[in-house]
Amino acid sequence: MTIKKKQNIKLWFVIIIALIFWSIGTGFHHDLSASSDETYKGLKLFSDVIELVEKNYVDEVDTKELIQKAVQGLVSSLDPHSALLPPEAFEELQIGTHGEFGGIGIVITMQQGVITVISPIEGTPAYKAGIKAGDKIIKVDGELTEDMMLWEAVKKMRGPKGEPVVITIIRKGVLKPIEFKLVRDIISIISVKSLVLQPGYGYIWITNFQDNTTNDLKQTLEKLESGDVPLKGLVLDLRDNPGGLLNQSILVTDLFLEKGKIVSIKGRLKEHTKIFRAHPNEVKRDYPIVVLINGGSASASEIVAGALQDHKKAIIIGTTSFGKGSVQTVEALRDGYGLKFTIARYYTPSGRSIQAQGIIPDIQVKQRVIDREEADEGLMKEKDLKNHLEAEPDAKKDAGEKEDTRNKHRHPKVKSMHESLTLEGLLEDNQVMRALDILRSYDILSG
C-alpha cells in the first residue's frame, strides 16, 4: 500500500466519522472542533487502528463494516436503549409502530445475550404452534442466533405472508432443542381491547402504544360509557405493556385528566427539557379507575400509571413496574441508517424519576391466576440491564451493592397477556378481581 493510499484511507475514515457525528442532529455540535485535543487524538487513534487492521489482518476485511461495528459499539456502550440502526433495522423500527406486518407473531427480547420469547401473540402462527414465553431461540432457518442483534433476528423472522421459516428453541425442562416450521402470516397488533366485567364495570387492556392507540381507546371508552348501565368504574390494564410512542401515552393520559402535568422530560440540553400538560375534555370521566401494572409494564405505560397515581385519579395495584424512565429519539442518518439514542429522563407530575426504580403500586397484589403459582418477581427489570441509566444524572450505586441474579432466568408461568381476552379468563385473574372488588367497594361506600 502506497503512502498516498494510506493518507487517502485516513482522510476518508475521518471524514466518515465527522459526517456521522454531524448528521446526528439536535443535541450535538454540527462540527468537530479542531481545538479539542482529546477528540482529535481519539479520531487519530481510531483511524490508525482501522489502517493497521485493513493492512495486516490475516483475512481481508470490509472497512465499511468495521466502521459500522465501531460506531455500534460506541453507541451501545452508552445505555441499553441506544443503538446505531442499519437501514434494515431502521425500517423494522418504523414498521413496528404501525400495528401490522408479516411474521410469525412473537414478542422477543435479548436476555443475557440470548434471544428470548416474551410472549406469543394470540391467534398467530407461533401461538398456534405452541411457542411459549421463556423459550430461547437458538436458530432461525438453521442459522445460529448467538451473534445476532435483536433487529437481525426480528428481520429474519418477519417476511411475506405464506413463506415458511424454521426456528429452533430450547425450553426449560426439555432436554433437546425443539424445531418449529412456521408459515408466516399478517400479524395485526390490536393495542386496545375491552370487555364488560359486570354491568357498570368496564375493563380495558392496552397492549402497547402505537399510532392509533388514543383513537381506539377513545372509541372504546365512548362505547362503555354509553352502555345500558352507566359506567360505575373502570379497570385499565397496563400489565406487560412494553411501551411505545411517547406522544400516545401523553394523549391517553389526557383522556382522564382535566388539568396539571402529565409528564416532565429533563435532558442535558434545554431543547430536551419539556413539560406536557393535560387539557379539559368534552367528557369528564369522574368514575373511579384502577390501573393494573406489573414488572412487564415499561416506559410509556409507566408514564400513564405514574400520572394517574400522582393526580389521585386512579388506584394503582399489582407489582412494581419495569423502571424504564428514559426517552429515546431516532434521527435519520445518510444511506438509510438511523441513530436511536437517549436524550432525557422522564418524571411523574410530582417529580419522581422512574428510571431503574419503577412505579410502586398503591396496593401490592401478586401477579398470578387464582390457584396458580405466582412468578412476577422473576421478571427482568431495567435496573438489571447492563449500562442502565441511574434515576438521576449523578446517582451512583453504593460501593457495597451487589447485583442480584437469582431470579433473572425465571419467567412468568401465568397466562400470556397476548392470548385471547375472555370474560372467563379475567374472572380467574387475581389482580382483575381485586380491582373489581375495589371499584364495587367504592360504589357501595360512596352510595
Answer with the one of 126, 157, 188 that is the final residue of a domain: 188
Q: What CATH number did the domain enclosing 184 receive?
A: 2.30.42.10
Per-residue pLDDT, 284: 92
Weakest-pLDDT range from 65-69, 216-220, 253-257: 65-69
Answer with the one of 188, 213, 238 that is the final residue of a domain: 188
**pLDDT tens per residue across span 94-147:** 766 566 688 998 878 788 889 998 777 777 899 899 998 789 999 999 999 998
Q: Is 50 exposed, middle or buried (0-12, 13-18, 19+ CB in 10 A)?
A: buried
Considering the candidates 79, 216, 237, 310, report the single residue annotated as catalytic: 310
pLDDT band at 400 (very low <50, low <70, confident <90, very high): very low
User: Looking at the domain assignment, is residue 92 inside a domain?
Assistant: no
Are residues 44 and 109 part of one domain? no
Considering the candidates 299, 301, 321, 416, report the single residue annotated as catalytic: 299
DSSP characters over 193-234: EEEEEETTEEEEEE--B-TTHHHHHHHHHHHHHTSSS---EE
Question: Taking residues 415-441, what's their average pLDDT?
Answer: 84
Enter the pTM of the model. 0.73
Question: Taking residues 35-41, what's their average pLDDT?
Answer: 78
By the 8 A CB rule, do 116 and 135 touch? Answer: yes
Are residues 222 and 137 part of one domain? no
Are residues 412 and 286 part of one domain? yes
Per-residue pLDDT, 367: 63
Considering the candidates 155, 232, 324, 383, report the single residue annotated as catalytic: 324
Question: Taking residues 288-300, what's their average pLDDT?
Answer: 92
Q: How far apart are CA 243 and CA 267, in angstroms?
A: 20
Q: How far apart are CA 111 and CA 103, in angstroms?
A: 21
Per-residue pLDDT, 41: 87
Are residues 172 and 204 part of one domain? no
Domain with 246, as residue range(s), is 192-393+406-446
The more confident residue out of 284 and 391 is: 284
Are residues 364 and 310 part of one domain? yes
User: Looking at the domain assignment, is residue 416 inside a domain?
Assistant: yes
Tell me what the pLDDT averaged over the chain comes to: 82
Are residues 376 and 227 part of one domain? yes
Q: What CATH number did the domain enclosing 433 receive?
A: 3.90.226.10
Question: Taking residues 79-96, what's their average pLDDT?
Answer: 80
135 in active site: no
Weakest-pLDDT range from 117-121, 225-229, 398-402: 398-402
Are residues 138 and 10 part of one domain? no
299 in active site: yes
Task: Measure Cα distances from 279 to 91, 195, 246, 255 in Å.
Answer: 34, 27, 17, 8
pLDDT band at 404 (very low <50, low <70, confident <90, very high): very low
Which residues lie across from 413 on neighbouring strands?
Answer: none
pLDDT band at 168 (very low <50, low <70, confident <90, very high): very high
Weakest-pLDDT range from 65-74, 230-239, 371-380: 371-380
Are residues 199 and 179 part of one domain? no
What is the tally of structural domains in the chain?
Answer: 3
Per-residue pLDDT, 417: 45
Per-residue pLDDT, 353: 93
Are residues 382 and 261 part of one domain? yes
pLDDT band at 408 (very low <50, low <70, confident <90, very high): very low
Which three-class secondary structure string do you get for 103-144?
ECCEEEEEECCEEEEEEECCCCHHHHHCCCCCCEEEEECCEE
User: Looking at the domain assignment, is residue 84 inside a domain?
Assistant: no
Are residues 436 and 335 part of one domain? yes
Are residues 65 and 112 part of one domain? no
Are residues 338 and 295 part of one domain? yes
Question: Taking residues 287-291, what's their average pLDDT?
Answer: 97
User: Looking at the domain assignment, is residue 373 inside a domain?
Assistant: yes
Question: Taking residues 193-203, what's their average pLDDT?
Answer: 96
The more confident residue out of 193 and 123 is: 193
Q: Which of 22-26, 344-348, 366-370, 388-392 has the highest mean pLDDT?
A: 344-348
Q: Is the pLDDT of residue 368 over 60?
A: no
**pLDDT tens per residue across span 7-19:** 444 444 443 444 3
User: Looking at the domain assignment, is residue 413 inside a domain?
Assistant: yes
Per-residue pLDDT, 147: 84
Largest CA distance in the chain: 90
Weakest-pLDDT range from 99-113, 278-292, 365-379: 365-379
324 in active site: yes
Answer with the one of 188, 218, 238 that is the final residue of a domain: 188
